[in-house]
Copies of this chain bind each other. A is one copy, B any other.
């Protein structure tokens, strides 16, 4: 199995990459009714767009990631892209064949226009006044980027978790612009429990005395305590109980119970570390907006709850992947998507991977999962000459 693993997980790095920025001066009307007079999107590309412009793949990010999918920055070699195991020369999404596009979503905190940007109306950072954005808004903004890059139609749009929701939305919003959709660890809408976890995270942030209604930049502070707790909650939902038990168990860091409130168990150390790290680099206003985008996503809502009707416009070929131990978005949620696509006689492959890692499995090396993605891209027919 080791040899097979090596083969499946082989491939190189795209190497040093450059983040770029595109500016859009045609106003963007958001789903909320608010209008952004102009905006910028941070993005990266790997590989080359072929002359037929038929080999572009858009990779959408989930909660805390960004446009930096693969490779590293020349001046920051440790900063490796978040899906570097998946994207690169010879990797499942092979940059020798495909032109891969990563984009930081609108409202983000990694370079695209968001709450930390200057609000042209006030000359100060938007802060709490930045509009609430939705998956539909993100896809609309990404379509502008596609135009800017000269991509009329993506060979594929791909994402995991919240990224998968964007891939799904692409097939609804722009059915003619998506050849294939890779929908990984997805759900067609959040459950009440999913929303509950998001809400507690938001409450931790908005009740932090340093939040100041989202205008904390002006006060020279950030709601770090709230963001830290929010991230800790998130991490619990990303892992399965089993893998958490296997990784951390009930190991006592000090050998015996401390009978105090310092760290006793390894899992406490892990959570505090993750919370601390996140709270130093992620923007709380962005976190709030991303969780709202998750909560609101529900393409079936406009069709009386009928997901099959919602997906009727889709024309793409689908690969839907779920993971058995994912209790955040269970395989049952993915099967709802598969069923709705089959109702529409769409071309859909469904893969349920027996993986222990929980929701985070979509980011992990797994021989069967990676082999399937590799094969799916490998079998993909592109329009026109490839080179």
Contacts and interface: CB of A to CB of B under 8 A. Distances in A.
A249 B192 contact: yes
Given A259-B32, A271-B200, A295 B265 contact: yes
Task: Please give the count of copies of this chain that the complex contains.
Answer: 2
Interface residues on A, range: 35 or more
Contacts of A206: 261
Interface stretch (A46-54, A97-105, A163-171, A239-247): A239-247
A250 B192 contact: yes
B245 A192 contact: yes
A199 B235 CA distance: 12
Interface stretch (A151-159, A226-234, A340-348): A226-234
A245 B267 CA distance: 29
Contacts of A292: 259, 261
Given A195-B250, A265-B295, A268-B195, A232 B200 contact: yes
Contact of A261 (B193, B261, B288, B301): B288
* Interface class of chain A by DSSP: helix
Given A191-B245, A207-B228, A272-B203, A236 B196 contact: yes
A250 B288 contact: no
Interface in A202-238: 202-204, 206-209, 225, 228-229, 232-233, 235-236
25 contacts: A31-B259, A32-B257, A33-B259, A34-B259, A132-B261, A189-B250, A190-B250, A191-B245, A192-B247, A195-B250, A195-B265, A196-B244, A196-B268, A196-B271, A199-B267, A199-B271, A200-B229, A200-B232, A200-B233, A202-B261, A203-B232, A203-B271, A207-B228, A261-B292, A264-B295
